[in-house]
């Protein structure tokens, strides 16, 4: 399907949508808590805090912030299914207790991949079951909204699409749907729900919010649909633009004000609109380094998706002072192989950064064969490789001027394990869908601009443009 199909939808009324949303936001006091299964969920927001642990004191601090929203980084896409259950039980336990203690209501967003990968429906089911049992909350429905225009992800007539060049490809026909751990076969989201829930929720029972009603700003009808939700019914949201989300959020807030509770499973678009986050210009080198940059940078590329490899190849054409170091992933098959490889690469990287080169460390592009291993075993092996890659930052003795991490698991591990970040301020985006953290005082390198570059975002030239802009 050609991308022109997006423009063939009914016309939107952005001014009316803005007024409807702002009207409903008046008197809406719930704290918005976004649980992020990798660090890329802040792709659309700025001036919000992200906490990299879910200890009780961290969640309490988030509740007490002046900001209406905070993020908690779970990195659960890098966990096995058995590991993610206790994480989400603990988070739900803390949220329920602190909400009751402070008398502050909340709304939960389980922020995950715009290409439908992740522990679904395990995570939202765990949150629901724990909060209903411990806090007595009744969740009437679950909202599914994988819309993310910065990455070219759109939902039309309940089918989810990924923009690839001038084509809209049904999500199940992309490389993302073939993921070893989180693969799926359906792009029509009601069928996706039935598939992933193994029939516990039927496609026919899903509530679909249509693009026609969203474009007509029919908040009354959409609210009625939401009010009919019961038993954690699945609510599929069409969206082609942020205006569509504004109309939906107006209805969602109205339904919450009338006593209905929902958990959302969404990409990065929904938190921006519900949190009423304004647009701001993309970040520049001058904005990030008003006093100038002391050292050259470090780029770590862990993602193996096709787009990342294309971006890496394009970066290799740059005429700037760049040094490329391949991290040999096959070393995982040798005793202490990953440890030795990390030490080798780190030693070279330190020397070259001190010499004025920006160093690009990238995992070998040939995938390791994991024949005979289960999905969780494959994920565990991938995590071991990511841990070795992250250890390069953990043991680094030279502070780079900036760090860019490419890939969801990679960027999470570099941020939390390598840099030791506990709380970071999201400055904004350096390119569409590519956020920047300012590391906190507790981190290995305080006040370091840390660029989180998702594996599946950007054009072929985006990585090169960011590196070139920061170096020139």
Compute CA distances 443 → 78, 241, 393, 417, whole Å.
22, 37, 12, 10
Q: What are phi and psi of 4, to 5 degrees?
A: -60, -20
pTM of the predicted protein model: 0.89
Considering the chain, what is the average pLDDT of its residues? 93
Over residues 264-280, the mean pLDDT reads 96
Closest CA to 118 of 168, 74, 162: 74
Q: What is the pLDDT of residues 200-240, one digit of tens each?
A: 999 999 999 999 999 999 999 999 999 999 999 999 999 99
Confirm whether 97 is domain-assigned.
Answer: yes
244 and 139 inside one domain: yes
Final residue of a domain: which of 235, 254, 274?
Answer: 274
pLDDT at 191: 98
Q: What is the pLDDT of residues 403-430, one digit of tens each?
A: 999 987 788 889 999 999 999 999 999 9
Q: What is the pLDDT of residues 317-354, one digit of tens each?
A: 998 899 999 999 888 778 888 999 999 999 999 999 99
124 and 212 inside one domain: yes
Final residue of a domain: which of 274, 294, 314?
Answer: 274
328 and 419 inside one domain: yes
Confirm whether 348 is domain-assigned.
Answer: yes
Over residues 115-144, the mean pLDDT reads 97
The answer on pLDDT for 280 being more than 70 is yes
**pLDDT band with cut points at 50, 70 and 90 for residue 313:** very high
CATH for 450: 3.40.980.20
Confirm whether 371 is domain-assigned.
Answer: yes
Using an 8 Å Cβ cutoff, are 415 and 39 in contact? yes
Confirm whether 364 is domain-assigned.
Answer: yes
Confirm whether 141 is domain-assigned.
Answer: yes
Compute CA distances 184 → 1, 193, 227, 237, 347, whole Å.
20, 10, 30, 19, 41
Radius of gyration of the chain (CA): 22
The DSSP annotation for 397-457 comes to -S--S-EEEESHHHHHHIIIIIS--SEEEEEEEEETTEEEEE--TTSSSTT-EEEEE-TT-
Confirm whether 280 is domain-assigned.
Answer: no
Confirm whether 279 is domain-assigned.
Answer: no
Closest CA to 408 of 435, 376, 439, 377: 435
Final residue of a domain: which of 251, 274, 297?
Answer: 274
Q: What is the pLDDT of residues 96-124, one digit of tens each?
A: 999 999 999 999 999 999 999 999 999 99
pLDDT at 294: 83
165 and 301 inside one domain: no
* First-residue to last-residue Cα distance in the chain: 39
174 and 298 inside one domain: no
Residues 6 or more apart whose Cβ sits within 8 Å of residue 374: none
132 and 11 inside one domain: yes
Q: How far apart are CA 52 and CA 127, in angstroms?
A: 18
How many distinct structural domains can be found in the chain? 2
301 and 380 inside one domain: yes
Instruction: Show the domain range for 123.
Output: 4-274
204 and 268 inside one domain: yes
Helix 219-227, helix 242-257: angle, nearest 10: 50
23 and 150 inside one domain: yes
pLDDT at 337: 87
Confirm whether 259 is domain-assigned.
Answer: yes
Q: How many residues belong to the chain?
A: 472
201 and 89 inside one domain: yes
Q: Please state, as a whole number, how many other Cβ atoms lie within 10 Å of the Cβ of residue 336.
A: 9
Peptide bond before 384: cis, by omega within 30 degrees of 0?
no
Token pair in block for residue 200: 């516990």
pLDDT at 367: 64
335 and 433 inside one domain: yes
459 and 337 inside one domain: yes
CATH for 22: 3.40.50.10840
């Amino acid at each position: 399907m050609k991308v022109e199909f997006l423009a063939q939808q009914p016309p939107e009324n952005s001014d009316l949508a803005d007024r409807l949303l702002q009207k409903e936001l008046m008197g809406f006091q719930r704290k918005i808590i976004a649980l992020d299964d990798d660090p890329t969920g802040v792709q659309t927001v700025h001036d919000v805090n992200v906490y990299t642990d879910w200890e009780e004191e961290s969640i309490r601090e988030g509740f007490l912030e002046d900001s209406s929203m905070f993020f908690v980084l779970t990195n659960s896409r890098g966990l096995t299914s058995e590991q993610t259950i206790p994480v989400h039980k603990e988070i739900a336990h803390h949220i329920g207790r602190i909400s009751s203690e402070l008398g502050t209501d909340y709304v939960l967003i389980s922020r995950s991949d715009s290409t439908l990968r992740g522990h679904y429906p395990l995570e939202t089911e765990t949150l629901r079951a724990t909060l209903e049992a411990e806090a007595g909350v009744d969740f009437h429905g679950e909202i599914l909204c994988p819309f993310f225009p910065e990455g070219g992800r759109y939902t039309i007539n309940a089918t989810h699409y990924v923009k690839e060049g001038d084509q809209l490809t049904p999500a199940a026909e992309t490389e993302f749907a073939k993921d070893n751990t989180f693969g799926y076969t359906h792009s029509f989201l009601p069928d996706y729900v039935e598939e992933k829930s193994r029939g516990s929720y039927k496609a026919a029972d899903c509530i679909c919010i249509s693009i026609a009603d969203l474009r007509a700003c029919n908040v009354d009808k959409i609210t009625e649909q939401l009010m009919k939700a019961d038993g954690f019914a699945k609510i599929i949201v069409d969206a082609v633009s942020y205006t569509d989300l504004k109309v939906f959020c107006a209805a969602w807030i109205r339904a919450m004000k009338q006593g209905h509770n929902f958990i959302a499973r969404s990409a990065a678009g929904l938190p921006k609109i519900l949190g009423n986050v304004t647009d701001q210009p993309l970040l520049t080198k001058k904005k990030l380094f008003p006093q100038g940059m002391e050292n050259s940078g470090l780029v770590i590329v862990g993602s193996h998706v096709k787009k990342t490899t294309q971006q890496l190849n394009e970066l290799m054409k740059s005429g700037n002072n760049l040094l490329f170091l391949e991290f040999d992933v096959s070393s995982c098959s040798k005793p202490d192989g990953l440890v030795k490889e990390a030490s080798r690469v780190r030693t070279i990287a330190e020397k070259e950064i001190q010499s004025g080169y920006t160093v690009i460390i990238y995992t070998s592009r040939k995938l390791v064969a994991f024949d005979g291993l289960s999905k969780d075993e494959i994920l565990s092996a991938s995590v071991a490789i990511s841990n070795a890659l992250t250890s390069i930052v953990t043991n680094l003795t030279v502070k780079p001027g900036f760090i860019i991490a490419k890939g969801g698991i990679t960027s999470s591990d570099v941020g939390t394990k390598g840099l030791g970040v506990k709380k970071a301020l999201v400055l904004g985006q350096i390119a569409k869908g590519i956020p920047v953290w300012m590391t906190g005082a507790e981190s290995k390198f305080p006040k370091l601009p840390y660029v989180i570059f998702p594996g599946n975002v950007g054009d072929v030239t985006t990585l090169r443009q960011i590196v070139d802009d920061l170096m020139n």
